[in-house]
């Protein structure tokens, strides 16, 4: 595996020097994508969960957008947990933010705890999306929203070049995600595509 391939594989579970570089890169690269999706959501959450919190920028943006909310970040990479805590140190100190190490397949969180759950640029790497979606359904409060945000919408082979390089990565179409969400118990699913980019936002509601 050459240096470029090693670096790209840091998107899945960053660690070490290359992982730190990747997390900083993702904080900047995904900002516009994340902000676009946050503009679609119309709720006023009191408790927010960001799964796959990475470098912590998106959780910081959510806490800034909803100043009365509390935020929780979850990531299975210890480096991501440390960087998210550092990025949100003020909110952590104030008791508005906590960051825990955990896997989307078995979230270390209580039932019916969150109004908004986000998964931004992360479901590509989930072992089984149906199981992950069931876990989200469990921790989401009735009336809450699950928001999946992907830079690649999976149509017409988009992302295939990354799938060939990054181990255990898979892209999904909106139809793929909608079917898996409904299988996991979400009765309401809405797929939104960006007008000019390959970006996709999928909103699922829990009754």
Give the global pTM: 0.95
Task: List pLDDT tens digits, range 56-109.
Answer: 999 999 999 999 999 999 999 999 999 999 999 999 999 999 999 999 999 999
**% helix / strand / coil in the chain, to the nearest 5?**
45, 25, 35
The reported pLDDT for the residue numbered 156 is: 74
160 pLDDT more than 90: no
Tokens for 3, please give them. 């240096």
Q: Which domains are seen in the chain, by residue range?
A: 3-205 (3.40.50.150)
73 within 8 A of 100, measured Cβ to Cβ: yes
Radius of gyration of the chain (CA): 16
- Tell me the sheet residues that pair with 201: 149, 192
**Among residues of the chain, what percentage have pLDDT more than 70?**
100
Strand order across the beta sheet in which 200-205 lies: 97-101, 70-75, 47-51, 114-120, 140-150, 200-205, 188-193
Cα 53 to Cα 117: distance, rounded to the nearest angstrom: 11
Is the pLDDT confidence value at 158 over 80?
no
* C-alpha 89: how far from chain center: 20
Cβ contacts of 159 within 8 Å, gap of 6 or more:
124, 152, 171
Structure tokens at 199: 């970006």
Instruction: Provide mean pLDDT across the span 25-33.
Output: 94
pLDDT score at 155: 84
């Amino acid at each position: 595996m050459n240096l470029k391939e090693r670096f790209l594989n840091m998107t899945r579970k960053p660690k070490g020097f290359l992982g730190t570089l990747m997390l900083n890169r993702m904080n900047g690269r995904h900002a516009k994508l994340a902000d676009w999706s946050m503009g679609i959501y119309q709720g006023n959450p009191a408790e927010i969960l960001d799964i796959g919190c990475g470098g912590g920028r998106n959780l910081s943006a959510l806490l800034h957008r909803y100043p009365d909310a509390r935020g929780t970040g979850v990531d299975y990479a210890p480096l991501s947990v440390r960087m998210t805590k550092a990025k949100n140190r003020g909110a952590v100190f104030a008791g508005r933010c906590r960051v825990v190490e955990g896997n989307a397949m078995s979230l270390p969180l209580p039932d019916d705890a969150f109004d908004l759950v986000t998964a931004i640029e992360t479901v590509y790497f989930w072992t089984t999306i149906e199981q992950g979606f069931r876990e989200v359904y469990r921790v989401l409060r009735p009336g809450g929203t699950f928001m999946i945000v992907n830079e690649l919408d999976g149509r017409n082979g988009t992302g295939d070049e990354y799938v060939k390089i990054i181990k255990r990565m898979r892209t999904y179409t909106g139809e793929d995600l909608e079917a898996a969400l409904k299988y996991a118990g979400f009765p309401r699913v809405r797929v939104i595509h960006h007008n000019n980019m390959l970006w996709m936002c999928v909103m699922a509601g829990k009754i």
